[in-house]
Chain A
Amino acid sequence: MLIQLVLSSIAIGAIYALVAMGFTLLWQASRTVNFAQGDFITVSAVLMFILVCAGVPFAWALLTTVAISGVLLGYVVKTGIIQPLIRRSQTTLIVATIALSFLASNAVATFWTAQCKAFPPVFGMTPYRVGSVALSRQHVWTIVIAIALILAVNLFIQRTKPGKAMQAVAQNREAAKVLGINISRVTTMVFIMNAVLVAFAAILIAPVYMVRFDMGAQLGLKAFYSAAIGGFNQIRGALLGGFLVGIIETFTSAYLSTEYREMFVLIILIAVILIRKEGLLGTEER
């Protein structure tokens, strides 16, 4: 029982970490706090669901979903909404993402369906057996894929030229500009990366949650908490926060109260920002 709980808390934590990492990437590149992150998950999950139900083979459905998400939620959102607002106040940018969130979830409810749909299991139903312990395939593969993605993103940022440009923009926009980095292009790249990460998170979470127009709201909020608890301006902060929130949530709902699991995470968040306002691993910002 304990082992299963630990496994499922790490699995859900891995998904939060994935989405929270997207948050911190967006924050670092463009000072955007994306309140529509959860709805990006919904849109990707719905896309995947439609494709799979239309009989598209799984691999093709996955590729198409990731591609459409990258274009629509990455490129189009960045050039259409974020780019015109980036020079205005941060409040304006946040208001825009809030409106986008409301638009996305209600558009799904209006033009697709307001009902919830069960997503077919992706990794099969029979659990792995290690000795006498049964491990859910879904959980094991979620952890493996999420960690692989996290490693890939980190390798990309540390080893490749565009990744280094991202780091430069995150550390000092002005200096990066002086050095000839095209900030707008780097930001677009980060938005597309975020959309791809979110699409993967959506596909990993869809078989666990139901596919529904508001499925992303709680997920987005939890990922947001993760980023804030771990530290908004550090990728490792987001990762720590994600796993922490997953663990807190799973164990409080198993042993304390299922109804109020949201509350425990909120309390921890408030405690963290009271004690260390940058988050556990965050660094001071101007």
Chain B
Amino acid sequence: MERRSKRKWSWGRLLRWAAFLGVILLVPVIFSGNQYHMYVTTLICIYIIVIMGLNLTLGYTGQISLGHAAFMGIGAYTVALMTLHGYSFWLALPLGAAIAFIAGLLLGLPSLRVKHHYLALVTLGFGTVVYLVMTNEHEFTGGFSGLPGIPRPNFFNLSLRSGTAFYLLVAGFLILATVVLLWILNSRWGRAFKAIRENEMRAEMVGVNLLAYKLLAFAIGAAYAAIGGGLLAPLMRFVDPTSFPVHESFWFLIMLIIGGSGRFEGPFLGVIVVMLLPELLRGTQQLFFVIFASITLVLVIFWPSGLAGLIDVFFRRVLKRNTPQLTK
């Protein structure tokens, strides 16, 4: 990875980007006839954004957040409440992300000072509290009956009501999220994040401000989740607490591990596989929870680089570009 990042523009990289954009733009051509397929594809894009945020926090910086469902809920409810009261989506979405960012700072500040499992513990509690607010503050959040009738936004004068148009909006955000994350990872910040993940003490020795960078990685991850949530609300045109239960954050973690934690492709592979397989195979959701959680345990023990690592090995074997090299 480090070697590759020195050559900023290689043909392989350009090809991968072209393929990424190509797939995103091909989707509406293929699925525009089928509303449900379009919906699932949009949903996948949204969850990729959320898991990218988790990847920054967990995969690149090594901090465990169990509050991502709550941050997603914050984004969704901010957009839902504001657009229902007549404010613009384009104001509501950044505001939701900002609230989640600040909530991330406030939660991280006490818990990241201590040993790192405290973040997981405090965010788990935060997830519970946010869920309680969603279910109990009836006048405000609609309680269990949720908030129906959320409008879909306009892009300048263009209405994004149709499934395809809304997908293109979400895909635009996905591309934006991808570019921003790449930029962060290749900046000074990104190097500091990875240094913290690899060895905290060493990172501190070379002058990385541990608390500041951990806070930043966690708060940016939270903002990513809120943007995902803010897109989910107008997609479903309805929000209710059942989309953001506490255990959903556990599920996000599983998606990331399956895709490949700390790998840029991880969230893409993880979300696509974990969300598409149940669609294709049919079966109760709970059964797939059991299957994917078992796979995750096996992966954590035997193959920590997940699907991304598997694809790497496949390409190396097939194309024989490099000698196989296993990272730790």
What residues of chain A have their CB less than 8 Å away from a CB belonging to chain B? 33, 35, 81, 84-85, 89-92, 94-96, 98-103, 105-107, 109-110, 114, 214, 217-218, 221, 224-225, 228, 232, 259-260, 262-263, 265-266, 269-270, 273-274, 277, 285
Contact = CB atoms under 8 A, between A and B. Distances in A.
Nearest to B120: A94
B289 interface: yes
12 contacts: A81-B297, A90-B117, A91-B62, A99-B297, A100-B293, A102-B251, A107-B290, A110-B286, A218-B128, A225-B121, A273-B110, A273-B114
A221 B117 contact: no
B294 interface: yes
A259 B301 CA distance: 39
B128 A262 contact: yes
Interface of B: 58, 62-64, 66, 110-111, 113-118, 120-122, 124-126, 128-129, 132, 136, 246-247, 250-251, 253-254, 257, 261, 284, 286-287, 289-290, 293-294, 296-297, 300-301, 304
Contacts of B251: 102
Contacts of A265: 125
Given A105-B247, A225-B125, A270-B110, A94 B290 contact: no
Contacts, number: 116
Given A35-B120, A102-B254, 18 more contacts: A85-B301, A90-B117, A91-B63, A94-B117, A95-B253, A95-B257, A99-B300, A103-B290, A110-B287, A221-B125, A228-B118, A260-B136, A262-B125, A262-B128, A265-B125, A266-B122, A266-B129, A285-B115
Given A110-B286, A266-B126, A94 B113 contact: no
Nearest to B201: A286
Given A259-B132, A266-B125, A98 B253 contact: yes
Given A91-B116, A270-B122, A274-B110, A99 B296 contact: yes
Given A91-B62, A94-B120, A95-B257, A260 B132 contact: yes
A263 B62 contact: no
Contacts of A109: 286
Q: Which 7 A-B pairs have the closest CB atoms?
A: A103-B293, A106-B289, A266-B125, A99-B296, A33-B117, A102-B250, A102-B293
Contacts of B113: 273, 277
B293 to A, nearest CB: 4
A104 to B, nearest CB: 9
A92 B304 CA distance: 9
A214 B289 CA distance: 14
B292 to A, nearest CB: 9
Contacts of B284: 110
Q: Is the contact region of chain B dominated by helix, strand, or loop, or is it mixed?
A: helix
B118 A262 contact: no
A265 B125 CA distance: 9
Contacts of B304: 92
Contacts of B116: 90-91
Nearest to A270: B110
Contacts of A103: 289-290, 293-294, 297
A114 B116 CA distance: 33
A96 B297 contact: yes
Contacts of B114: 273, 277
Nearest to B296: A99
Contacts of B128: 218, 221, 262, 266
A220 to B, nearest CB: 9
A236 to B, nearest CB: 19
Contacts of B63: 91
Contacts of B122: 266, 269-270
Contacts of B136: 259-260
B293 A106 contact: yes
A91 to B, nearest CB: 5
A184 B111 CA distance: 31
A19 to B, nearest CB: 14
Contacts of B301: 81, 84-85, 96
Contacts of A35: 120
Nearest to A278: B114
A106 to B, nearest CB: 4
A263 B132 contact: yes
A99 B121 CA distance: 15
B124 A221 contact: yes
